[in-house]
Amino acid sequence: MLTSTLLPVLEDLLPLFLPSSVSVTRAHDVLPPFEYHIDRSDPRVQVFSRDAVVKQSDKICTSILILKPTTSSTIRHHGEQDTIIYVVSGFGLLLSQPKSGEDLDRRQIGPGDFAYIPAWMEHQFQNTSDQADLHLVIIRSGGAPVEVSLTDWGGSRLDPEE
**Chain mean pLDDT for the chain:** 83
Q: Superfamily for 34-150?
A: Jelly Rolls (2.60.120.10)
| pTM of this structure | 0.77
| pLDDT 10s digits, 102-141 | 889 999 999 999 999 999 999 999 999 999 999 999 999 9
Burial class (CB in 10 A: 0-12, 13-18, 19+), 133: buried
For residues 136 and 85, the answer to whether their CB atoms sit within 8 Å is yes
Q: What is the pLDDT at residue 160?
A: 64
**Cα 26 to Cα 113: distance, rounded to the nearest angstrom:** 23
Task: Tell me the per-residue pLDDT of 26-38, one tens digit each, with 9 for 90 and over.
Answer: 777 766 654 444 4
> Domain spans of the chain?
34-150
Residues 13-22: contacts with CB under 8 Å, at least 24 apart: 19/56, 19/57
Query: Residue length, the chain?
Result: 162
The percent of residues above 90 in pLDDT, for the chain, comes to 54
- Residues 67, 48: Cα–Cα separation, whole Å: 6
| CA nearest to 31, candidates 60, 52, 62 | 52
Predicted confidence band of residue 100 (pLDDT cuts 50, 70, 90): confident
